[in-house]
Structures are given as C-alpha cells and as structure tokens.
Amino acid sequence: CGITHAFVNWGSDHPGYWKSSSGNRSRGTDFRLRPGFWEARAVIVHTDVGTQVRLAGAVHNADKSRTPVLIYAGASPSTVDQDIRGGRNEWNMYTQDIHDQPAIVRQYMRFTAQISSSKHVSQMIMSEPQGPIMEEEITDIPEPSGMLKWPIIEPAALSESAAKRIAQALSSARHPLIITSHLGRNPAAVDSLLALSMLLALPIVATCPAVVNTPFSHPYFCKLTYLQPGTHSPLLRRADVILVLDADIAWVPANEAPSASARVFVLNSADPLNTNVGYWHVDAELVAKADAASALEQIFTEVRALDTVARDVGKPILHTEGVLARGKRKAKVHADWRLTAANALGGLRKALAGKRTLVLNEGVTNYPAVWEHLRPEARRWGRISGRQSQPCRGRDCAFDIVVAIVGDGSFVFGAPSAAYWMARRYDTPYLTVILNNGGWQVSHNDRLSIGMGAECPDYSQIAVAASGNVAWGRRVASDTSLDDLNVMLTEAVSVVVEQGRCAVLDVQIEA
C-alpha cells in the first residue's frame, strides 16, 4: 500500500510482532514528530492505553498539519478459550478491553473503520483531505482479476467563472493581499504562488504556518504572524482584495480584521469550511474547494488574458505604475548586541550556512522569531506542537543536520531523559537550541507563570546525563559575548555533523 516505515509501540504484543517483523526494528513510537513529513507512514499502538498515551497530542498535530498517516491500534483478544489461537492469558487483556476504542481519537481522524484491502490504504491516506486514519483491523479480501486500480483522487480545479472572477478582482485591486498557512505542503503550489505574486506584485502574508509557503528571499513576502494582537501585517486593514489560500486562520477578528468592504476569496485544497473545527467562518465573496497549484495556474492564465484585452484599449494591467509601486522590499537588520532570541537565531543561521538542514520549530513564544531570523527557503520545515523530543531517526536522513529549536518549557515537557538516551541508543544525533527565557512565558501573566526564573536547571547537562555522557552540552549565559556565542554555535554544529553526537545549547535569552 506504499507505506515503507512504521513507528511502533506494541505492548504485550511486542514479542509476536517483533518476531514477524523485518528490516530495521526500533521499539517506541514517537508519532509526536511525524507532522512535518508528508509521505505516508504507519503508527502501530496497542489497545486503549497505547492509543491514549503514545498518540497523545500527536493526534492533534497530525490532524491540523494534514499529515497522511495510518494508525493501527490492536484490540484485546476476544476469547478466553485456550484451544483458540490468540486467547487471553494476561490480566491486562481484561482491563484494556473497551467497547469503542476508535472513539478516543475519532474526531481527529479522516476515517475510522475496518479496511478490507490494503490497496485501499494508500488511496485513503494520500487523497485530500489528508490526515490521520485509524483502523482496528486490516484484512485482504480476495479480489477478482481485472479489478479496478486504486488511484489517489485527482485534485479539483476552480470553475472557469470563479477563476475569471478572482483574476479580475486581483487585476483591478489597488491594495491586494494573499494570505496562506499550509500551501507549501504542495511544492507545485509554491511555484504557482510565486509566479502569480511576481506577475502582479502581490504581497504575501503567512499566518500560523507549519511549513515554508514562500522562500523568505521572495521580494513580495511581507510578514509572518501567529495572530497575537498587533502582529498582523498593516496591509490587512487597507486591503481591498484578499485571496486566502490554504489558510485555516487568516486573521482573528477580535484582534485585527480587514475592512468590511474588502473582497475576500477563500480557496482550500481539501476542506474550505474546516468541518473538523467546532466553529469556523470568514466573511467572503467566494469560497471554493480547489487544489492551490491548479487554481493559481488558472488565475495566472486569466490575468494574462485580461491584460491582453486591456492593452488593446490602451489600459494595460501588468507593468503599470500601480503594480510596480507594490514591488518594494523591506530590509531587516539585527538590533544592537544583546543575547536575544533574534541574535541567537541569527548566529545559528550563519553556523548552518551551506548545510541541508531540517528545522523543527517549537519556540512557542518565539515561533515567529525562529521563522523570521532563520529565513528558510525550502518547504521541509516542521512545527511540532506541545513538546520537544527526538526529531529524526537514523543517519539515512536526507539532511546534513536536524535542529530542534525549543523553549525551556517545551524542553522539559519533551521527556529529555528518554529522548537523548534514544538518540544514543539508535545513533540519531541532532542539535537542540533551547531559547531559555526563564519561565513558561506563554501565559502572558506573571502571576500565572510556573517558570523557574534565574534558578532554572542547566538543561544542557540534563541531556548529557541522559545520554550517558555522550551528548555535548553547554549553557550560554546572558552576559555571553557575540564572538563567544558564535564559537559555541559553530562547535555545536560540528559535534553533530562531524562527530555524530547530540549537541544541546541552553541559551539564556532576555525574557
């Protein structure tokens, strides 16, 4: 069915599965980290406890990041007759037997049922809307010869009238704007987005991104925001035409919203009404389910056609003063030297120059800073929600180095003792940069803070101890000079790439 890797936690089924498995074997499913990788994978857990404990917040991640993954959860044996193969012989087989195991995660799944053919798996996982599916049993029923194949569902295009309508609106707009969140899951859509943006000098804003939607070097990429009050682009309020592409949350009305007169067009490749969200609505002129790459190509073609017609009457659309005036680019510079997240990340970017790098962003209150100061160009960029843990398994990874950028809270919540021992056990080195602001600042309320403040542990040495003193760890104090920070960043990268060991930098940034 096209699945080549499984992440497993077998419980009492462990010996039987282990004996029958082939290839690389590693116990312990870190499904929490699968979001950010869009090839189909499988996760195997055991009964209700595996479904709850091992999947945990990963189910939320897979749902919201639209990660195609098959979750297979075995059930307790259904008989006590020892003459029948597979009968109960352990006490936990009674306590782990519940009536409706898939109900634990059903509302996050695209599909929950028994699969009668493994050929169906690929079609269900890789067709839109992508996301997790859960099965309790997969059986291959004999199929008659000549049975139709099981292709992935072809992506939908815009209707001709919708493509013309959007093209006309963008072409005539004085202040157009494009907003996207996860368009970058489809590399073809990124190329189409850049082409349309360059054609009309359309500014692009990324809201709550989980992937790279636009190279940060693109001249019309204007802003990245996680929608806290006052952080949206100023272009939002004055925009007269807004194209929302594959974005679950384009703005939060209570914080910032476009003008009531703005024309809003919402296009989504899978679920334009966000039916897996309890309440969702955007005031829009048009809402359509359409593949982003196909839709953008259609709009591009229609704009070209409109320009040809307009030139015949002396009113061209492209290369006019209005279009050219939108093509201005802002330059960003670092502030005076202080040990801030911005300066630490700027130094990290320099240390990683020339290396194929996979970055996992769990900066929490520093989510935007990580994006803005590392300025990634390629789409393989992950955001993992809720905790930091082992980000990459095996040295056959397609990257020179894997970097997890985390807050001090998410580092603690990520069970570092297990993560760094696993990294040593399975030879999977990676770099962790802890943006340590001395507490759980996400609450935005000093009275609610549960941080440890200036007396916090030396997190780097927790990792060193957990690895049996194999990992490399350093604490970067707040009074560290720029030169010393750059030396430690360079050394940390070298430890991972050249020595094959985990490296951890506990950077004590300004709160």
Nearest to 109 by CA among 156, 62, 145, 177: 62
Cα angle for residues 256, 379, 301 (degrees, 5° grid): 75
CB contact at 8 A, 505 and 433: yes
Task: Provide the pLDDT confidence category of residue 117 given band limits of 50, 70 and 90.
Answer: low
Of residues 140 and 152, more confidence is placed in 152
Using the predicted structure, report yes or no on whether residue 336 has a pLDDT greater than 50.
Answer: no
Task: Provide the pLDDT confidence category of residue 405 given band limits of 50, 70 and 90.
Answer: very high
Average pLDDT over residues 346-350: 91
Using the predicted structure, report yes or no on whether residue 482 has a pLDDT greater than 80.
Answer: yes
Best mean pLDDT range from 25-39, 72-86, 324-338, 471-485 = 471-485
Can you give the three-state secondary structure of 332-380, one letter per residue? CCCCCCCCCHHHHHHHHHHHCCCCCEEEEEECHHHHHHHHHHHCCCCCC
CB contact at 8 A, 271 and 289: yes
Contact partners, residue 49, CB within 8 Å, separation at least 6: 11, 96
pLDDT of residue 481: 87
Average pLDDT over residues 136-150: 53
Q: Model pTM?
A: 0.73
Q: What residues pair up with 43 in beta bridges, in sequence order?
A: 7, 71
Average pLDDT over residues 9-17: 63
DSSP run (H or E) holding 42:
strand 41-46
At residue 134, the 3 state secondary structure works out as: strand
Q: How many CB atoms neighbour CB 426 within 10 A?
A: 14
Task: Provide the pLDDT confidence category of residue 473 given band limits of 50, 70 and 90.
Answer: very high
Q: Which residue carries 């809201």 as its tokens?
A: 207
CB contact at 8 A, 235 and 246: no
Q: 409-418, 446-455, 460-469, 483-492: lowest mean pLDDT where? A: 446-455
Q: How many CB atoms neighbour CB 494 within 10 A?
A: 14
In the chain, the domains with their CATH numbers are: 6-135 (3.40.50.970), 160-325 (3.40.50.1220), 341-508 (3.40.50.970)
Q: What residues pair up with 223 in beta bridges, in sequence order?
A: 205
Phi, psi of 16 (to 5 degrees): -65, -45
Tokens representing residue 72 in the block: 């297979």
DSSP run (H or E) holding 8:
strand 6-8
Using the predicted structure, report yes or no on whether residue 26 has a pLDDT greater than 50.
Answer: no
Task: Provide the pLDDT confidence category of residue 369 given band limits of 50, 70 and 90.
Answer: confident
Of residues 391 and 469, more confidence is placed in 469
Q: What is the CA radius of gyration of the chain?
A: 25
Residues in the chain: 511
Using the predicted structure, report yes or no on whether residue 43 has a pLDDT greater than 70.
Answer: yes
How many Cα atoms within 13 Å fall on the side-chain side of residue 220?
Answer: 21
Q: 129-133, 234-238, 445-449, 466-470: lowest mean pLDDT where? A: 445-449
Of residues 179 and 91, more confidence is placed in 179
Question: pLDDT exceeding 70 applies to what percent of the chain?
Answer: 76
State how far the Cα of 344 lies from the Cα of 505, in Å rounded to an integer.
Answer: 11
State how far the Cα of 503 lies from the Cα of 464, in Å rounded to an integer.
Answer: 9
State how far the Cα of 317 lies from the Cα of 330, in Å rounded to an integer.
Answer: 25
Average pLDDT over residues 236-265: 94
Q: Which residue carries 């955001």 as its tokens?
A: 383
